[in-house]
């Protein structure tokens, strides 16, 4: 039971991460590979604040959001000087810089040894150290992030994002501020990625830089792509799939290292297959496709 709750919590972290990337990578087509960096920024901010200064959970969450927003603005202003493949390479570079700061700045982040002894969460005097209450808290935050992102994606602002992803110059000619919208969408994506980071740090009570590598970024991006780019629920489903499926491999008696490798191979194969057929995992479209096939068979039999 404890194991199932653990998997559920991990899934919800990835749902939050992938949904926040859906806004950036899906709606405004800013394919960012720096998302694990923002995840790490949230985790490290909260960990450093609560271990060194004893701040409460809500305060460190707020500070982590503010810091990741500031870094998000800074990063997007740099990265948005380029487009397409070059943008991907630059965000990749930012991810590498973030990782090497976490890994090498001994005084601040304790380097590869990581930060241990992060206190468990207590809000307004209520202790949330046991797993079920933490599950509920994570669920609460997941729903908040989902709700906010759904409202953003239904807002007129998101129409600008979709417009600029299709044709930037045309959107600009309509009097919309393209650059500002891009910066805002990148920053919001980064901010929401810090939320699971904070929760992650308090959940494991120990963090080290190996959780925030480039492969993690690629994994989050592949969740978004497999979920169907502009589909919040789709990326949630894809996150479930991509995490539960490798967990099942562990029951087949596979060692931890091999299971990690096979997990990565699976999502690599998924990525290539999705590129061949965009609607591979999109439930609604595949359902329609099935209906069409069934109808054709019925017609033939008649």
Binding positions for other proteins, rule: CB under 8 A: 31, 78, 81-86, 88-90, 92-94, 96-97, 99-101, 103-104, 168, 215, 218, 221-222, 225, 257-258, 261-262, 264-265, 267-272, 275-276
Q: Alpha carbon of 221 to those of 19, 88, 130: distances in Å?
A: 10, 11, 31
Minimal distance in Å, beta carbon 160 to other proteins?
Answer: 17
Minimal distance in Å, beta carbon 209 to other proteins?
Answer: 12
Residue closer to other proteins by CB (options 174, 272) is 272
The number of residues making up the chain comes to 302
CA angle 270, 148, 145 (to 5 degrees): 55
Residue closer to other proteins by CB (options 100, 173) is 100
Minimal distance in Å, beta carbon 90 to other proteins?
Answer: 7
**CA-wise closest residue to 25 among 88, 68, 81:** 88
Residue closer to other proteins by CB (options 192, 219) is 219
Which residues, other chains included, contact 38 with Cβ-Cβ below 8 Å and sequence gap of 6+?
A: 68, 71, 72, 189, 190, 191, 193, 194, 197
Residue closer to other proteins by CB (options 137, 225) is 225
Minimal distance in Å, beta carbon 219 to other proteins?
Answer: 9
Minimal distance in Å, beta carbon 143 to other proteins?
Answer: 30
Residue closer to other proteins by CB (options 257, 298) is 257
């Amino acid at each position: 039971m404890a194991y199932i709750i653990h998997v559920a919590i991990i899934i919800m972290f990835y749902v939050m991460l992938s949904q926040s990337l859906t806004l950036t990578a899906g709606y405004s087509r800013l394919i960012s590979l720096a998302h694990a960096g923002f995840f790490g920024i949230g985790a490290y901010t909260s960990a450093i604040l609560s271990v060194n200064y004893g701040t409460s959970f809500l305060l460190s969450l707020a500070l982590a959001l503010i810091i990741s927003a500031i870094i998000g603005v800074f990063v997007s202003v740099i990265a948005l000087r380029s487009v397409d493949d070059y943008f991907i390479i630059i965000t990749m570079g930012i991810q590498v810089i973030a990782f090497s700061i976490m890994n090498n700045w001994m005084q601040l982040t304790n380097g590869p040894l990581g930060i241990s002894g992060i206190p468990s969460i207590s809000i307004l005097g209520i202790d949330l150290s046991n797993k079920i209450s933490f599950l509920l808290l994570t669920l609460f935050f997941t729903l908040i992030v989902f709700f906010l992102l759904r409202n953003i994606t239904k807002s007129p602002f998101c129409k600008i994002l979709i417009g600029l992803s299709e044709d930037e110059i045309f959107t600009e000619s309509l009097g919309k501020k393209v650059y500002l919208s891009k910066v805002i969408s990148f920053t919001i994506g980064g901010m929401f990625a810090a939320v699971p980071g904070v929760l992650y740090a308090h959940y494991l009570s120990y963090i080290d830089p190996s959780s925030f590598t480039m492969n993690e970024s690629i994994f989050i991006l592949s969740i978004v792509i497999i979920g169907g780019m502009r589909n919040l629920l789709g990326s949630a489903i894809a996150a479930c799939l991509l995490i539960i499926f490798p967990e099942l491999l562990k029951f087949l008696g596979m060692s931890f290292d091999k299971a990690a490798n096979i997990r990565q191979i699976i999502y690599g194969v998924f990525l290539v297959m999705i590129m061949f057929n965009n609607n591979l995992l999109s439930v609604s479209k595949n359902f329609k496709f099935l209906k069409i096939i069934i109808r054709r068979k019925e017609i033939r039999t008649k």
